[in-house]
Amino acid sequence: MTHAQTLPRPVFDNGISAVPVRELSPTGDFEESAPYRLFGLTPCTPVIGAEISGVDLGAPLTAELHAELHRALLEWKVLFFRDQDLTARQHRDLARWWGTPEVHPFLPKADVPEVVRLSRGADSPAVENVWHSDASFETTPPMGSILRAVRVPDVGGDTLWSDMGAAYDGLPADTRKRLDTLAAVHDFTRTFGSQLSADELARQQRKYPAVTHPVIRTHPETGRRLLYVNRIFTSHIVGLPDAESRDLLAYLYDQARHPEYQVRLHWRPGTVAFWDNRATQHYASADYYPHPRVMERVTIVGDRPI
């Protein structure tokens, strides 16, 4: 899949909205997708999110099915699968089709070390209700994440994803030009670090030192330009005065909040979401306290943002 800018991008600014009114498409090129032969695909929005039917993720994939699912992931950024019955090992083995599942350095584990268990309830309120990209503090952040619903509340607990390609496209041209030359520092210290003792924090900082990534990364497969800063892990923009860095980051963080760029999933037990962590941010709504919500997730090692 390649990114070809063949036509001028139409922009119709209504002078009121924070986001220019313009045509939105999954690829940003306004080109129709090639058909999918091995499963059904139903878009959830014009730009991000699609529900896949006719696939049993617990069964071994074929090379052909993997290739077609991967094309759908690149196009729609997050794929939803209902009524899946996966063990932790099957979950991990599914992720291996896309790369190496990583062992998260801080989060609790399920039955196998590559599977993180996120268990929330009366004794453990949710903390994932911030727009973010998983583990951007790593030198090679995950290319993707696969999240499975184990137990969900009857009402609430939805997850939202936002398309960072659409967010970049929606920025003013002069802002895009400026951002193309900037880099930002990503660091786990403010979040995961707050849970560690001083000795353990120092040990983990040696293992995961702060890293610098471009503010605008290029998707390694589609070539699409993507906004790549997030409120959880990005600490500052390199070379800018502190106040200017804070103001610019606050503006960029807010780009994920536009509904035009988003898709929202209501979970059911057995629902699986697979997202391109390079191209999206996500937000887990914390509106279900004190009811339990148990999820399991695998992240897949990616490459260094460029």
Q: Which residues are catalytic?
A: 132, 134, 282, 297
Contacting residues for 25 by C-beta, under 8 A, at least 6 apart: 31, 46, 47
| Beta carbons of 110 and 296 less than 8 angstroms apart | yes
Of 216, 228, 227, the residue nearest 136 (C-alpha) = 228
Q: Provide DSSP, 230-246.
A: -TTTEEEETTS-HHHHH
Q: Measured in whole angstroms, how far is the alpha carbon of residue 157 from the centre of its chain? A: 17
Distances in Å between the alpha carbon of 235 and those of 187, 198, 252?
A: 7, 20, 13
Of 68, 61, 97, 75, the residue nearest 27 (C-alpha) = 75
Contacting residues for 181 by C-beta, under 8 A, at least 6 apart: none
DSSP letter for 35, please. P
Cα of first residue to Cα of last residue in the chain, in angstroms, is: 18
Contacting residues for 49 by C-beta, under 8 A, at least 6 apart: 43, 76, 77, 78, 79, 80, 161, 263, 265
| Beta carbons of 263 and 42 less than 8 angstroms apart | no
| Beta carbons of 284 and 267 less than 8 angstroms apart | no
